[in-house]
Amino acid sequence: MTALAQAHRALNLAQGLMWLEPDPRLLELASAQVGQPGNHHQYSFPAGYPPLQEQVAALSERFFGVRYDPTSEITITVGATEGLFAAILALTTPGGEAVFVEPAYDSYLPAFRMAGLQARPVSIPLKLPWAFPWDHLEAVLSSATQLLLLNFPHNPTGLCLRQADLVRLEAIAERFPELFIVVDEAYELMTWHPDWRQEEAVRPVSVRQSPLLRERAVVVGSLGKMVGATGWRLGYVAAPPALTAAIRAVHQFIPFCAPTPLQAVVAAYLSQDLERALYFHRPLLARRRFFLERLVQSTSLEVLPPEGGYFVLVRPPGVTQGDVELAEALTREVGVAAIPLGPFYSSEEGEGWLRLCFARPIELLEEACERLSRAFPLAAASTDRRL
């Protein structure tokens, strides 16, 4: 979609990366440290550069009230993507079964396939109010399921974990004592007030807060997303020691270690002030409000506001095309590039839903809303479309 956006000079709300600059203090630390001679130009331990493992443990304690031992329970990976891949390979055997939730981030299915797994999807219904399909999930799980992969806050719906969900997941963990539970928390701290008019973050809920799940689950995070430098390829895996040992045994033979100089910079950045992990909250909340307000007030698009992350799902009224065709037409004819939802599913079509990324400059969002309102004008009779 990005290539198509460029070809048609469309506004690119498709690509999932943030078009927001990282904190200048992070960049200052990078220029001060990376150019200096020192050990940080060599391999780190495969488990990670110890000061960064400590910061990841400190983040968990500060924002979730849950302590991990940095040495035996935190592994620094090459982005969340490698952490997920290493966990999937480590905890499954070829021919086994993995259950995951769709629409799904696009690395899951290839990872399952490379691990030789049968993947069974469970779909989140795309309608408000959001509800996680626990009943369906429970019906799909069996003693043959080796791994359950969840994602909260969820890409692309923005669905977040709630306290009540922990009880459901605990029941699953108890019913299937051999099941490995892996939770992709790439957007871990980006959890927003359910009313999008409120520019407020809410305390995130994580599986790690359940004492039972803390000992059973593997949590995967993205430091690149947290500090707005996804190209630095830093992520982490937090898991109890036995699971960590298994995951490290795989991780060691994929990248060996994550880039040491960048681990050192992020460790220094967070150690000066852990609240820097929330650096993007304010700009993202302002953009969520601005974008949703414009979409609701000036277009006839159906809109699903997110509780977390930085994507919003929209669907044109009376859509008849497939979502891929629709996304291409939107790029060519309206000048706004979006991601169709079809590719987030292993088989189904995305039913006309499109994902827009609002981690963009405000002026770009404003122009996108102008174009969308011309293409999908709000009927005069329905000006009050409060969600």
Ligand X SMILES: Cc1ncc(COP(=O)(O)O)c(C=O)c1O
* Binder among 224, 308, 335, 352 for ligand X (CB under 6 A): 224
- Interacting span for ligand X (CB under 6 A) from 23-31, 79-87, 110-118, 279-287: 79-87
- Interacting span for ligand X (CB under 6 A) from 222-230, 237-245, 326-334, 374-382: 222-230
* Shortest spacing between CB 90 and ligand X, in angstroms: 17
Site string for ligand X, 103-142 (x = CB under 6 A): --x-------------------------------------
* Shortest spacing between CB 228 and ligand X, in angstroms: 11
User: By the 8 A CB rule, do 328 and 4 touch?
Assistant: yes
Interface with ligand X includes 80 (CB under 6 A)? yes
- Interacting span for ligand X (CB under 6 A) from 75-83, 127-135, 191-199, 366-374: 75-83
Please state, in angstroms and as integers, the Cα–Cα distance from residue 310 to each residue in 2, 73, 154, 270, 299, following that order: 17, 29, 10, 22, 20
Q: Which is nearer to ligand X, 40 or 225 (CB)?
A: 225
Interface with ligand X includes 307 (CB under 6 A)? no
Positive or negative, the Cα torsion across 229, 190, 78, 244?
positive
**Integer Cα distance of 241 and 77 in angstroms:** 16
Site string for ligand X, 144-173 (x = CB under 6 A): -------x---x------------------
Number of residues that bind ligand X (CB under 6 A): 14
Q: For 291-342, give the DSSP string.
A: HHHHHHHHB--EEE--SBSSEEEEE-TT--S-HHHHHHHIIIIISEE-EESG
Tokens representing residue 217 in the block: 């689950």
> Phi and psi for 368 in degrees, rounded to 5?
-60, -40
For the chain, first and last CA: distance in Å?
Answer: 29
Please state, in angstroms and as integers, the Cα–Cα distance from residue 161 to each residue in 71, 150, 307, following that order: 28, 10, 10
Interface with ligand X includes 222 (CB under 6 A)? yes
Question: Which residues bind to ligand X, rule: CB under 6 A?
Answer: 16, 79-81, 105, 151, 155, 184, 186, 222, 224-225, 230, 235
